[in-house]
Structure formats: structure tokens, C-alpha cells
Amino acid sequence: MSPLLEITGLSVRSATKVLVDTLSLTLQRGERLGLIGESGSGKSLTALAATGLLAPGLRASGSVKLAGREVVGAADRDLDQLRGKAVAIVFQEPLTALDPLMRVGRQIREPLRRRARRDGRPLSGQALDAAVLAIMVDVALPDPVRIARAYPHELSGGQRQRVAIAMAIACEPDLLIADEPTTALDVTTQAEIMALLDRLVRDRNMALLFISHDLPLVASAVEQVIVLRQGVAVESGPVARVFSEPAHDYTRSLLSAARRFDAALEGRQ
């Protein structure tokens, strides 16, 4: 069976710079892959390129095959069909990932309704409402009936991110891309969201592309990891090996920075 996501020699260029340089990766169904690197290393661009959602000024070359279909150079009309079911994204900042003027319940309802209609089994209004509540329970949102009627600004950061995750899994995607999903959250909430993502990915047998600069977080969430630096993949392999025997200087510097941070934290306690 062909891999779910197969990126071969992907480059992303702006008018003046190469932002991602001949990157290749493969992701099978149910696999978890981490993409790590500092800000501006091209992690998020890779995710957007994988779904054909690059900003107009950016050009992708190479090949991205999502569920066997070529994404680079494909028309939006063809990709719309693919996007709803093959892939969904959870973004870093849950406040901007939710429409500020739409009730939370409706934001989850839209992708649900679309997915159901595409599959040729359109749901009635009541069935949709029930499905929205079921998903909200699944992402452990407290008091779903009340929250479904709330606007995003009335929720806490963690609740917002749960809503964003609910919207993503409402599409029943085969691949979930999580783009720094916990960076905007406090540490306790981070742990809860990571546990939630872990459970959802396992329960629904999704593949996970986890993008982060937070090494311990990546280590806990994925099996394989790719280290990006200025758009170039400098190292890749199983998490345990890359973190215990880093082969590249850049990976070593990332690791030692993370260790120094840990040490500083422990020293203070």
C-alpha cells in the first residue's frame, strides 16, 4: 500500500530565498513523525505545502503525494476534495484558529456536515447537533451544551485548543498535522492537550505529523523525528537514537540548550 504522505525533494521558495530545501519524508498510516527545529526553520511551511495551502507569494517544487494524489501544482478544486478527508491541521494559536464571531458549536458543525455530505450520508440537523456534542465530549470539553453556544473569547486557552482539535477530527482525517499545538498554553494545559492528542491519534488510528521546537514534547509524542535547520533536514531517525546519539552539531546544540533549560529549572526548585 502506498504511504499516506510521501514528500520527495520538496523545496519552497519565496521571491528571494529558499525556505525549504529538497526535503523528503514518508509517513504511513498510523505512524507518528516529529518535525523539529527553531523558528523559521521551515517546519510550518512544510506542513502547509503538504496540504497545498502555501501563501500566494511562495512556490513549491518537487513532489508531495497525499493519499496517493499529487499536491504540488494541483488545482484548488481537486485539493478541496482531498483536504476534507486526508488531512487536518491543529494550529499553534487557538485564538486565531477559531472564528471570533461564530459560536463554537457551529464551527465544529461545519466540517462535520461537510464530511458527512461528501461521504454521501448527509445528516439531519438533530443528528449533526448530536454529533457535535459527541465530538466535544470526545475532546473532554466540560459542559459541552453550554460551550457549544459560547463564542471563542468566552473560553480559556486550553478549551479553545480542544475546540480546534474537535474541528480537526470532525473531518475524520487520516493524517493529523499538529503545528506547535501547545506552544501558546501553560505547562499543565500542555500536558493535558498532549495526552488528548495521544489518545485521539491512537483511538482513531490517525497518522500524526507533530511540529515543534520543544524537544521533550516531541520525544513523548512521536516515534520518528526529522531535525530541520534553515529548511534543510540535517538529521532523521527514531526519536531514541536521535536524542541519545545526535550525529549533527545542530541537533546537539538544540539538545544541550534544552538540557541547560531543564537544569536551570531543577536548580531553582
Partner 1 sequence: MSDVAASPNRRRGIVSLTLMAGIMLVGLHIAIGLLTLVWLPYEPNAFTGGRLEGASLAHWVGTDRLGRDLFTQLMIGSRIALTVGLGAVAIGATIGVSIGILAAFASRWLDDALAATLDILIAFPTLLIAMLVVAASDTASLGSAIVALGIALSAIVARLTRILAKRVLVMDYITAARTSGSSWPKIVAIHVLPNIWPTLSVNFALQFGLAVIAEASLSYLGLGAPPPNASWGRMLQEAQGTVYTAPLGAIAPGIALVSLAIGVNLLADGLRARIDAARTLS
Q: C-beta of 55: minimal distance to partner 1 in Å?
A: 8
CB 38 within 8 A of CB 183: no
Q: Which is nearer to partner 1, 142 or 216 (CB)?
A: 142
Q: Helix 187-203 to helix 157-170 angle, to the nearest 10 degrees? A: 20
Q: Does 171 bind partner 1 (CB under 8 A)?
A: yes
Q: C-beta of 236: minimal distance to partner 1 in Å?
A: 25
Residue entry with cell 478544486: 77
Q: Does 98 bind partner 1 (CB under 8 A)?
A: yes
Q: C-beta of 124: minimal distance to partner 1 in Å?
A: 20
Dump strand ranges (E) for 174-250: 175-179, 207-212, 224-229, 232-238
- Segment lying near partner 1 (by CB under 8 A), choices 47-55, 65-73, 224-232, 248-256: 47-55
Residue entry with cell 526548585: 269
Q: C-beta of 36: minimal distance to partner 1 in Å?
A: 21
Phi, psi of 92 (to 5 degrees): -70, -50
Q: From CA 95, how far away is CA 162, in angstroms rounded?
A: 11
Q: C-beta of 56: minimal distance to partner 1 in Å?
A: 7
CB atoms within 10 A of CB 17: 9
x-or-dash pattern for partner 1, window 117-156, by CB under 8 A? -x-------------------------------xxxxxxx
DSSP single-letter state for residue 123: P
Q: How far is CA 134 from CA 130, 145, 179, 244, in A?
A: 6, 10, 25, 41
DSSP string, 154-207: GS-HHHHHHHHHHHHHHT--SEEEEESTTTTS-HHHHHHHHHHHHHHHHHTT-E
Q: C-beta of 249: minimal distance to partner 1 in Å?
A: 34
Q: From CA 192, how far away is CA 210, in angstroms rounded?
A: 16
Q: Does 170 bind partner 1 (CB under 8 A)?
A: yes
Q: Does 87 bind partner 1 (CB under 8 A)?
A: yes
Q: Does 88 bind partner 1 (CB under 8 A)?
A: yes
Residues comprising the chain, all counted: 269
Which residues within the stretch 99-118 sit at the binding site for partner 1 (CB under 8 A)? Answer: 99-102, 107, 110-111, 114-115, 118
Q: C-beta of 190: minimal distance to partner 1 in Å?
A: 18
Q: Does 80 bind partner 1 (CB under 8 A)?
A: yes
Binding site for partner 1 (CB under 8 A): 48, 51, 53, 55-57, 76, 80-85, 87-89, 91-93, 96-102, 107, 110-111, 114-115, 118, 150-156, 164, 167-168, 170-171
